[in-house]
């Protein structure tokens, strides 16, 4: 997993819960990296999973909710890092529909070894989109957070329903309707 | 600040320091990777440039060295590039003037030219366009052009190239040869006709002389002495010989003039006929060693061929037991025959001459010197070859081939 996901995560934890919480969840987790992350490095996904679990345990907030908040924060990071890519879109539905065929293609150019989820479009109209999310990471709520922020970015809102196709969340259907 | 807080800050600081070092190392490694990749790219680029230069110089060499004119033009026919041969042929030089290939079109060939140009645009090429052009100095030249379109990366035609061969001289030569061939055929025919008429005309005065001589003999029966009678006999022999000569010329001139009748001819049967016609003395035996083939050709000429060679073999045999052997070998595209005798043989110095007309080695009554030239002419008609092996006093073998 790309280092920026870790550094941004820990920054957000520090922001919301203080440096003690950061220190605590690092200490509670068994981390090969010893909690030393840099945005240009690459680290095991299992480390992120442990950090999330321990944060959830310490704060009584579900992992899904933590991911949602984190994703909303992460969208602003993307906006700062890749403004040109986002500027090529005029509409949130268009942007979300092209995750697979455009955005991930661009990501692979910069990070050839990135392990990306797939977003296959089932149905698309001007104001609605149905996609299947597939990833062994089961981070669909991270996706949801990014989607929420995408609509916000284009000054729009949407109702997004998540239907789990697999119980463990590795395959999920997103039904998006623009309001 | 409590000790716990200090410890937390201390740990955070340590992590930050370690992260900084880690990122510096990652970036350094990346820089090295990038540097190496750049270096490799540079080398590859240099190699490519070298290759390009080499290919360019090869092409330039071809462009300059081909003997034919080479021209590149845009799709409107404006000449873009030419080699020296083209400058010499057309008379235009792009260094000093512009010109369009339309300027080269010779009016009577214009339709053909425009049609070919259309074909080039449609099919992408044309081959062996043969027509006249008019050069800058108004000279008319025959050329043969092979042309093709040049395409860019997106397969769009952008220009056309052509190799133009000046065939003016070749054409003139081949036309000259054609004319000469017609003339030659005509004079050959005339000659044959002439020989035919002359020999015919010569025969009637001969017959008159013969008649006159026999009248004189009759009129003076009993009055002539032995010497005169012998002289009269000599006159008659000479007349007979002359008659044979003229007949020979007639026969020779008729070969090749008649249309060739082609038919299946069984040479075994033909040889039986020849044996019947020829007078074969007691002491001569003829052996056919192999089954002879059935060939396709004019029966009369084939008979003349064998008859002449066998009669020669009989005529020039001085042995007590004369032996003539006829044999054949089949090859891929022809048959090779041989007629071998144990006669007087022919000296090596005459081997080439014997096939020429009137070249008799033996001035005897029966020998006119025409037989072998007829044989040669017939073998030529069959696109075959004839040669001999011979040793004086031992014998002669005539070999000849007949194309299947």
Domain of residue A125, CATH code: 3.90.1520.10
- Burial string for B124-147 (b: 16+ CB within 10 Å, else e) reads eebeebebbbbbeeeeebbbbbeb
Residues of B in contact with A8 (CB under 8 A): none
Under CATH, to which class is B178-254 assigned?
Answer: mainly alpha
In degrees, rounded to 5, the angle at the alpha carbon of residue A85 between the alpha carbons of residues A80 and A90 is 105
Whether B269 and chain A come into contact, CB under 8 Å, resolves to no
Q: Are B81 and B95 contacting, i.e. CB atoms less than 8 angstroms apart?
A: no
Distance CA A74, CA A71 (A): 5
Residues of B in contact with A2 (CB under 8 A): none
Whether B8 and chain A come into contact, CB under 8 Å, resolves to yes
Separation of CA B321 from chain center: 47
Do A42 and A101 fall into the same domain?
no
Closest CA to B337 of B345, B328, B346: B328
**What element of type H or E holds A162?**
strand A158-164
Whether A44 and chain B come into contact, CB under 8 Å, resolves to no
Residues of B in contact with A7 (CB under 8 A): 19
CB-count exposure of residue A82 (10 Å: 0-12, 13-18, 19+): middle
Do A81 and A155 fall into the same domain?
yes
Query: Which segments in chain B show pLDDT lower than 70?
Result: 256-261, 357-369
The residue ranges of every structural domain in chain B are: 1-65, 67-166, 178-254, 263-403
Residue A160, min C-alpha distance to chain B (Å): 38
Whether B37 and chain A come into contact, CB under 8 Å, resolves to no
Counting one residue from chain A and one from chain B, the pairs whose CB atoms sit within 8 A come to: 32
For residue B167, what pLDDT is reported? 92
Do A78 and A31 fall into the same domain?
no
Do A126 and A163 fall into the same domain?
yes
Q: Which of B1, B11, B29, B37 to mutate against chain A (most A CBs within 10 Å)?
A: B11
The beta-carbon neighbor of B18 closest among A19, A23, A36 is A36
Residues of B in contact with A38 (CB under 8 A): 19-20, 22-23, 26
Dihedral sign computed on CA atoms, order B232, B237, B242, B243: positive
Return the number of other C-beta atoms located less than 10 Å from residue B90's C-beta.
25
Do A94 and A47 fall into the same domain?
no
Q: Are B358 and B295 contacting, i.e. CB atoms less than 8 angstroms apart?
A: no
Report which DSSP code applies to A100. I
**What element of type H or E holds B157?**
strand B157-166
Tokens, residue B286: 């003829």
Whether A169 and chain B come into contact, CB under 8 Å, resolves to no
Do A92 and A150 fall into the same domain?
yes
Tokens, residue B321: 């037991």
Do A20 and A42 fall into the same domain?
yes
Closest CA to B82 of B117, B57, B96, B92: B92
Do A118 and A32 fall into the same domain?
no
Domain count, chain A: 2
Dihedral sign computed on CA atoms, order A119, A123, A126, A129: negative
Report which DSSP code applies to A156. -
Do A71 and A16 fall into the same domain?
no
Residue ending a domain, among A21, A44, A61, is A61
Tokens, residue A56: 């959830």
Separation of CA B59 from chain center: 34
Whether B34 and chain A come into contact, CB under 8 Å, resolves to no
Distance CA B85, CA B163 (A): 10
Whether A161 and chain B come into contact, CB under 8 Å, resolves to no
Q: Which residues contact B230 (CB under 8 A, 6 or more apart)?
A: none
Distance CA B309, CA B376 (A): 11
Question: How many residues are present in chain B?
Answer: 404
Q: Which residues contact A50 (CB under 8 A, 6 or more apart)?
A: A28, A29, A30, A31
Report which DSSP code applies to B83. -
Q: Collapsing DSSP states into helix, strand and coil, what is residue A74?
A: helix
In degrees, rounded to 5, the angle at the alpha carbon of residue B402 between the alpha carbons of residues B397 and B404 is 145
Phi, psi of B368 (to 5 degrees): -100, -15
Residues of B in contact with A36 (CB under 8 A): 15, 18-19, 22
Q: Are B340 and B388 contacting, i.e. CB atoms less than 8 angstroms apart?
A: no
For domain B263-403, give the CATH number: 3.30.565.10
In which residue are the tokens 């442990």 written? A50
Q: Which residues pair with B163 in a beta bridge?
A: B70, B146
Residues of A in contact with B30 (CB under 8 A): 40
- A55 half-sphere exposure, CB direction, 13 A CA radius: 27
Secondary structure (DSSP) of A7-38: HHHHHHHHHHH-HHHHHHHHHHS--TTTT---
Q: Are A179 and A157 contacting, i.e. CB atoms less than 8 angstroms apart?
A: yes
Q: Are B360 and B348 contacting, i.e. CB atoms less than 8 angstroms apart?
A: no
- A122: domain range? 67-178
**Smallest CA–CA distance from A18 into chain B, residue:** B8
The beta-carbon neighbor of A36 closest among B5, B9, B19 is B19
The ipTM value here is: 0.79
Instruction: Print pLDDT tens along chain A (179 aa).
Output: 889 999 999 999 999 999 999 999 999 999 999 999 998 889 999 999 999 999 999 999 999 999 999 999 999 999 998 899 899 999 999 999 999 999 999 888 888 878 889 999 999 999 999 999 999 989 999 999 999 999 999 999 999 999 999 999 999 999 999 98
Do A95 and A57 fall into the same domain?
no
Q: Which residues contact B183 (CB under 8 A, 6 or more apart)?
A: none
Whether A11 and chain B come into contact, CB under 8 Å, resolves to no
- Contact assignment for B26 to A40 by CB distance below 8 Å: yes
Do A89 and A16 fall into the same domain?
no
- A161 half-sphere exposure, CB direction, 13 A CA radius: 8
Fold of B67-166: Beta-Lactamase (3.30.450)
Tokens, residue B120: 């080039």
Do A113 and A50 fall into the same domain?
no
Distance CA B400, CA A2 (A): 95
Residue B14, min C-alpha distance to chain A (Å): 9
């Amino acid at each position: 997993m790309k280092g920026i996901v870790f550094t941004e995560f820990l920054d957000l934890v520090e922001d919301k819960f203080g440096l003690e919480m950061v220190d605590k969840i690092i200490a509670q987790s068994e981390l090969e990296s010893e909690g030393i992350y840099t945005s240009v490095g690459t680290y095991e996904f299992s480390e992120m999973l442990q950090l999330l679990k321990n944060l959830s345990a310490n704060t009584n907030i579900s992992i899904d909710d933590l991911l949602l908040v984190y994703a909303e924060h992460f969208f602003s990071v993307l906006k700062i890092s890749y403004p040109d890519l986002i500027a090529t879109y005029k509409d949130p539905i268009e942007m979300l529909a092209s995750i697979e065929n455009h955005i991930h293609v661009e990501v692979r150019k910069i990070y050839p070894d990135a392990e990306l989820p797939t977003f296959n479009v089932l149905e698309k109209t001007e104001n609605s989109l149905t996609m299947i999310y597939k990833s062994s990471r089961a981070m669909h709520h991270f996706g949801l957070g990014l989607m929420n922020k995408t609509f916000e970015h284009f000054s729009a809102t949407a109702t997004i329903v998540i239907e789990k196709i697999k119980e463990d969340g590795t395959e999920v259907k997103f039904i998006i309707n623009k309001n | 600040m409590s000790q716990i807080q200090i410890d937390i800050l201390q740990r955070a600081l340590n992590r930050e320091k370690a992260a900084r070092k880690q990122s510096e190392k990652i970036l350094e490694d990346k820089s090295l990777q990038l540097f190496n990749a750049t270096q490799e790219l540079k080398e590859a680029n240099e190699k490519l440039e070298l290759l390009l230069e080499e290919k360019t110089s090869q092409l330039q060499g071809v462009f300059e060295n081909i003997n034919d004119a080479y021209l590149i033009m845009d799709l409107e026919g404006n000449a873009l590039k030419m080699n020296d041969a083209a400058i010499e042929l057309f008379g235009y030089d792009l260094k000093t003037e512009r010109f369009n290939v339309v300027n080269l079109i010779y009016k009577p060939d214009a339709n053909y030219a425009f049609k070919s140009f259309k074909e080039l645009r449609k099919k992408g090429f044309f081959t062996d366009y043969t027509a006249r052009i008019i050069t800058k100095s108004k000279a008319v030249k025959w050329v043969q052009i092979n042309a093709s379109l040049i395409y860019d990366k997106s397969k769009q035609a952008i220009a056309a190239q052509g190799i133009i061969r000046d065939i003016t001289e070749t054409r003139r030569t081949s036309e000259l040869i054609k004319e000469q061939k017609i003339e030659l055929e005509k004079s050959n025919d005339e000659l044959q006709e002439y020989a035919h008429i002359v020999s015919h005309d010569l025969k009637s005065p001969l017959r008159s002389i013969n008649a006159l001589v026999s009248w004189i003999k009759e009129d003076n029966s009993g009055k002539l002495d032995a010497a005169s009678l012998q002289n009269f006999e000599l006159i008659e022999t000479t007349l007979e010989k002359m008659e044979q000569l003229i007949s020979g010329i007639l026969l020779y001139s008729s070969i090749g003039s008649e249309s060739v009748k082609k038919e299946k001819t069984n040479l075994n049967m033909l040889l039986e006929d020849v044996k019947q016609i020829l007078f074969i003395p007691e002491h001569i035996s003829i052996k056919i060693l192999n089954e002879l083939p059935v060939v396709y050709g004019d029966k009369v000429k084939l008979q003349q061929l064998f008859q002449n060679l066998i009669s020669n073999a009989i005529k020039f045999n001085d042995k007590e037991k004369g032996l003539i052997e006829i044999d054949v070998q089949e090859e891929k595209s022809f048959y090779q025959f041989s007629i071998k005798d144990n006669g007087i043989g022919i000296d090596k110095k005459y081997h080439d001459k014997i096939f020429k007309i009137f070249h008799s080695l033996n001035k005897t009554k029966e020998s006119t010197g025409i037989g072998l030239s007829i044989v040669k002419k017939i073998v030529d008609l069959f696109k075959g070859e004839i040669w001999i092996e011979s040793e004086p006093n031992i014998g002669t073998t005539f070999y000849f081939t007949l194309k299947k």
